[in-house]
Amino acid sequence: MSAPLDDLMMDYPLTLTQFFERSRRLFGKKTLATRRPGQPLFRYTYADFAERTRRLAGVLRDLGVRKGDRVATLAWNSHRHLELYWAIPLSGAVLHTLNFRLSAQDLTYIINHAGDSVVFVDSSVWPVLAAIRDRCPSVRTIVVMHDGPPSVGGQAGAEVAAPADLPEYEALLEAAAPVREWPTLGERDAAGMCYTSGTTGHPKGVVYTHRALYIHCLAQAMTDSFGLSETDVILHIVPMFHANAWCVPFTGTMLGATQIFGGPNPQPRDICGLAQAEKVTFVGAVPTVWIAVKELVDEEGYDISSIRCIPIGGSAAPRSLLEHFDKQVGASMMHAWGMTEMSPLGTLSRLKSYMRGWPEDQQYAVRAKQGYVSVGVDLRIVDDAGHEVVWDGASMGEIQVRGPWIIRSYYDNPESADRFTADGWFRTGDVATVDPEGYVQITDRTKDLIKSGGEWISSIDVETMIMGHPKVLEAAVIAVPHPRWVERPLACVVPRPGVTLEPREIVDYLRPRLAKWALPDEVVLLDAVPKTSVGKFDKKVLRERFRDRASKES
Ligand code: AMP
Q: Which segments of 119-163 does DSSP mark as H helices, in order?
A: 126-130
Q: What is the pLDDT of residues 106-153, one digit of tens each?
A: 999 999 999 999 999 999 999 999 999 999 999 999 999 999 777 764
What are the backbone dihedrals phi and psi of residue 183, each rounded to the nearest 5 degrees, phi first?
-65, 150
pLDDT at 485: 87
Could you say which DSSP state residue 420 is in? B
Q: Does the CA dihedral 114-120-125-128 come out positive or negative? A: positive
Instruction: List, in order, residues 6 or more apart from 98 with CB less than 8 Å away.
Output: 72, 73, 74, 107, 110, 111, 116, 119, 241
pLDDT at 157: 44
Q: How far is the CA of 313 from the centre of ligand 1 (A)?
A: 7
Average pLDDT rounded to a whole number, residues 236-247: 97
Are 149 and 161 contacting, i.e. CB atoms less than 8 angstroms apart? yes
Instruction: List, in order, residues 6 or more apart from 504 with CB less than 8 Å away.
Output: 523
Q: What is the pLDDT of residues 18-63, one digit of tens each?
A: 999 999 999 999 999 999 999 999 999 999 999 999 999 999 999 9
One-letter-per-residue 3-state SS of 268-287: HHHHHHHHHHHCCCEECECH
The distance from CA 81 to its chain's CA centroid, rounded to whole angstroms, is: 16
**For strand 94-97 and strand 70-74, is the pairing parallel, antiparallel, or unpaired?**
parallel
Are 127 and 159 contacting, i.e. CB atoms less than 8 angstroms apart? yes
| 24-29 contacts at long range (C-beta below 8 A, 24 or more positions apart) | 24/50, 26/256, 27/230, 27/256
Q: Is 388 a catalytic residue?
A: no
Cis omega (within 30 of 0) for bond into 89:
no
d(CA 164, CA 158): 18
Instruction: Give the mutation target among 101, 248, 333, 442 for probing the ligand 1 site: most ligand atoms within 8 A of CB.
Output: 442
User: Residue 26: CA atoms inside 13 Å, Cβ hemisphere, count?
Assistant: 12
Q: How far apart are the first and last CA of the chain?
A: 81
Does residue 553 surpass a pLDDT of 70? no
pLDDT at 155: 45
Q: What is the pLDDT of residues 501-529, one digit of tens each?
A: 999 999 999 999 988 889 999 999 999 99
3-state secondary structure at position 105: helix
pLDDT at 427: 97
Taking the CA of residue 445 as reference, the ligand 1 atom at the shortest distance is 12
pLDDT at 199: 58
Q: What is the pLDDT of residues 150-206, one digit of tens each?
A: 776 444 445 788 999 999 999 999 999 999 999 999 999 999 999 997 656 789 999
Q: How far is the CA of 536 from the centre of ligand 1 (A)?
A: 9
Q: Which of 83, 323, 341, 463 is catalytic?
A: 341
Q: Is 451 a catalytic residue?
A: yes
pLDDT at 352: 98
Taking the CA of residue 429 as reference, the ligand 1 atom at the shortest distance is 10
Are 343 and 247 contacting, i.e. CB atoms less than 8 angstroms apart? yes
What are the pocket residues of ligand 1 if the criterion is a CB atom closer than 6 Å to any ligand atom?
196, 243, 313-316, 335-340, 344, 370, 428, 430, 442, 445, 534
Confidence grade of residue 484 (pLDDT, cut at 50, 70, 90):
confident
